Amino acid sequence: MAVRNNNTFELYLCEKPSQGRDIARVLGISQRNDGYIQGNGLLVSWCIGHLLEMIPPDGYDSRYKRWSINDLPILPQHWKLEAKKSTKKQLMVIKKLLKQCHSVVIATDADREGETIAREVLDYLKYHGATRRLWLSALDTISIQRALNSIRNSDETLPLYHSGLARGRADWLIGMNLTRAYTLLANDQQVRSVGRVQTPTLALIAKRDREIADFIAEPYYEVLAYFQTKQDLELLETRWQHRKQKTRKKSEGVPKPGAENLSERDLCLDKQQAQAVIDRCHSQYGIVTAASTQRKKQAPPLLYNLSGLQQEASRRLGYGAQEVLNIAQTLYETHKLTSYPRSDCEYLPVSQFNDVSFILQSLCKNDPSICKLLSQANQTQRSRVWNDKKITAHHAIIPTQTATGYQRLNSKERNIYDLIKRRYIAQFFPDYEYDQSIILIAIKQDQFKASGRIPRILGWKQVINSATEHKPKITQNSAEKELPAVAKAEQLLCDHLKLQDKFTRPPKHYTEGTLIKAMETIGSQVTDKVMKKILRETAGLGTQATRANIIQTLFQRRFIKSEKKLIKATELGFSLCDAVPESIKDPILTAQWEQQLDDIAHQNGQTIEGFLQQQINLLKTIICQIKHPAESTPPRRKNQYKPGDPCPDCSHPLEARKAVRGKKIGQTYIGCTHFPDCRFYSWS
């Protein structure tokens, strides 16, 4: 730790005043001044979030005060920041302190945003002295002391700042230019806000709403068969196994909305076919072709990252994504009861295993009602969550060793804390074990199936079934019943059969929890072969730290609304989605951009300049299309390739794709389905 040297100080620059007070307390300094704390040759000061903001277009040129399509795109040559009026006083405090310092310890939140908040201030104030990085995972005394004992070289985290700069500038380019463009295009005095991530998120919601609106329920049929067994005349309920139909031929046309390729889902669409099963199987003997029971185990679920916590709180408690983030932030900052909340990781470093007994003791002191449960925990059990190879910038969200403060929590804070602590406690309980039984019965060509799952050892499930979880509904689901004992090759009489008329159901509207999940896992939904090679499975829309805010922004701008916890697009939201081009609202393309920002942060070959040039190329294309719509849609040439045509190089079918790189990013082209073996392409 640095000490006083030549009448200068070392400054700890934090993100918020509360964070500064916590660090100052552990450093042992307490002399309070206006905007900072001092003592022992050390200074602790803080930003109040972002002290700086990017200047608006008219800050570069006064003519941009008037919105005009002719001025677009606006492309700053030299990016500028300005002090926020509301926090300018604190910026001046930091400026004064930097003149007295020989070095700075960046102590803002340990993520891209925190890195940007601190370094943009240091750059703006032209600080060129030494810097180091305090990397905090929690704000309790023990965690802060550990971080102080292992302060990092600031060069290790500098790429996070570069990623933050790229994100901020890309958002400015897309937001400032396209908001003006589509607002002017609508010409109805209503601002059409466009965002690099918010617009694709809106498109997800609008697309789901239209799928539901266009859905046409399709009838299908199930046959239940009941066989006599030797167990007190107990009837065994089975379900007829419908065989897949042949793939629909092109000549049969496009299926109706809602059909969703029913044949691939093993559904019987022909009532006569289902009735024929009943007619030929009634009072017939069936042969048991399989009868097995296997003991299966299920390990405790992984720990929470922010998205997982938001999804679980939405499902169990009906809490909104931003609400969960705010509560998790309070548990971290104010009560010091949990670790850093904006983590994308579900694992813990192996070194954390040394803290298990201390954390469990603290949980017992905080909430004595849980001590009986904790007495059953096996503290020597090391589950799969302890894995150094899976650790990212942060570990999963877990309870800290703070042994006080639980009684001060309000009901919602207790509910979120309860989810976090129980997921942690579950790691020290046995696997959940159940018996999975399957019986197959054949009557000539017809096959019937029964399955059942019976819990045998609750294990970690006794921990997860907390007071915050909804009580399970009482159902007559046959899968939850213990099946009667039958033997392979045994003959069973089919007592009777039942025909059930059913209808397909539309997809469900998003909730905040399921929308967060869709944003997080967009990379796994890719089917395009080219994009799949480029896009990692972990790619998503936005980040753990920004998704809740994106959803909140869509609400504030009246693009979406909430009806009984269900998220739906408004007319304004639909009109914006219809207006913007696919390249702006395509969630896959936007997820790839987020991946490139991550590559900048981890120095994986991407640069700020290269990333921003993609945004500029896209902007120029879109603005050109808006200004000259007739020129941007030339007539189709007779010899132009189209999807479905045979590839001229290998004869495999061609398909339409979108460019994800280069000057034509976002534009459609025709490529071979046999990629990467065949690399034929043609611009459409």
R_g of the chain computed on alpha carbons: 30
Helix 547-556 vs helix 198-213: crossing angle, to nearest 10: 70
Q: Are 30 and 121 in contact (CB under 8 A)?
A: no
As to burial, measured by CB atoms within 10 angstroms (0-12 exposed, 13-18 middle, 19+ buried), residue 417 is: buried
Annotate 41-50 with b (16+ C-beta within 10 A) or e (fewer).
bbbbbbbbeb
User: How big is the chain, counted in residues?
Assistant: 684
Token duo for residue 160? 């996070």
Residue owning tokens 């995972």 = 137
Neighbours of 354 (CB within 10 A): 8
**Nearest one of 125, 131, 183 to 11, comparing CA atoms:** 131
Token duo for residue 300? 């405790």
| Positive or negative: CA dihedral 172, 175, 181, 187 | negative
Angle at 19 (CA atoms; ends 13, 22), nearest 5 degrees:
110
Q: Are 306 and 339 in contact (CB under 8 A)?
A: no
Neighbours of 318 (CB within 10 A): 14
Q: Does 669 participate in catalysis according to the annotation?
A: no
**Nearest one of 194, 199, 197, 200 to 176, comparing CA atoms:** 194
Token duo for residue 521? 């896992």
Residue 302 CA neighbour count, 13 Å, CB half? 19
Cis preceding-peptide flag for 73 (omega within 30 of 0): yes
The separation between CA 524 and the C-alpha centre of its own chain, rounded to angstroms, equals: 11
Q: Are 23 and 144 in contact (CB under 8 A)?
A: yes
The residue annotated as part of the active site, out of 340, 347, 434, 510, is 340
Residues with catalytic annotation? 340
